[in-house]
Amino acid sequence: MCPTTSPSAAAARFTGRSVTGERPLSGSLAEVTLDDGRTVIAKRGDGTGAARAEAAGLRWLADAGTVRIPTVHGDDECWLVTDRVAQGPASTRTAVRFGRELAALHATGAPAFGAAPPGGPEDAFIGLAPMRNITGTDWPRWYAEHRVLPYLRGAVDAGTVGTDEAADVERVCERLPELAGPAEPPARLHGDLWNGNVLWGADGHVHLIDPAAHGGHRETDLAMLSLFGCPHLDRVLEGYQETAPLADGWAGRVGVHQLFPLLVHAVLFGRGYAEQALAVARAALRRRPG
């Protein structure tokens, strides 16, 4: 457990600056103003290692030098302190640029599917859910064993998905070698790329926060953008395709990649997401391979 301390104290400790103001935000976040005029975000952890895992992911993504990532000022078991992103409008020009930068991020690669960021733990998190970074070389098998089936079992154990219903997802996992499309090398993924983690900056760039970073299939990040909505997604995809064209048939594989985040949400939030997961699984089973 984390000792009681304040966002201001954490920000001062990690930045080496005095604090002149503090404003609570939603949940575990606070905005802290420093004596040099800068503003940082202090995020409270729960002592489980989530803050350190997030910090490792942010640094790994930043090291690629592609998509903008807030600077990490410091982290421990209880706190993460980063720069605050000054936000602006979501424009089509920024969307195309984001697509290009995301493609470049993915292309920097990872040592293996499931590879954790340097310094990141094997037992990491996606949102509030545990996520194990166990490596593999074969994406269909790795994705089934370490991204889909653990959350399917969790949903079944919670009674959110019935045993008969789970069989449809299990059949998708069995067919993944034929449904996954052409083999791809491990990409450097954000890993939790829903719209809430995509900040449209006042500087004309997208900035990414709160990753569940790991080595994975690049179509998984894009599928999550599609699942939870992203402004000007068509222009994001335009910029991506200009930089690193996706393999033929990628649009038909979106549902396969959405199984992972949907089952995570089914475990965390219940039946509505389970029904979405079952719908995409059944659609995948009706699809021709490729």
Q: In the chain, what is the straight-line distance between the N-terminal and C-terminal CA atoms, in Å?
A: 48
Instruction: Output DSSP code: residue 118.
Output: T
Contact 237, 103 (CB under 8 A): no
Query: Among this protein's residues, is 35 annotated catalytic?
Result: no
> Is residue 105 exposed (0-12), middle (13-18) or buried (19+ Cβ within 10 Å)?
buried
Both tokens of 160, joined, read 């959110």
The DSSP line for 94-110 is HHHHHHHHHHHHHHT--
Q: What angle do CA 184, 190, 192 make, to 5 degrees?
A: 110
122 close to 132: Cβ distance less than 8 angstroms: yes
In three-state secondary structure terms, 129 is strand
Instruction: Give φ, ψ of 46 to 5 degrees.
Output: -120, 15
36, 76, 83, 192: which is the annotated catalytic residue?
192
For residue 265, give the nearest of 252, 254, 278 by alpha carbon. 278
The number of angstroms, rounded, from the C-alpha of 80 to the middle of its chain's C-alpha atoms is 17
Joined together, the tokens standing for residue 148 give 């889909």
Tokens 């996706």: give the residue.
Answer: 246
* Whole-angstrom distance, CA of residue 74 vs CA of residue 123: 20
Q: Report phi then psi at 88, rounded to 5.
A: -135, -165
CA distance 33 to 12: 10
Both tokens of 25, joined, read 């935000």
The catalytic residues are 192
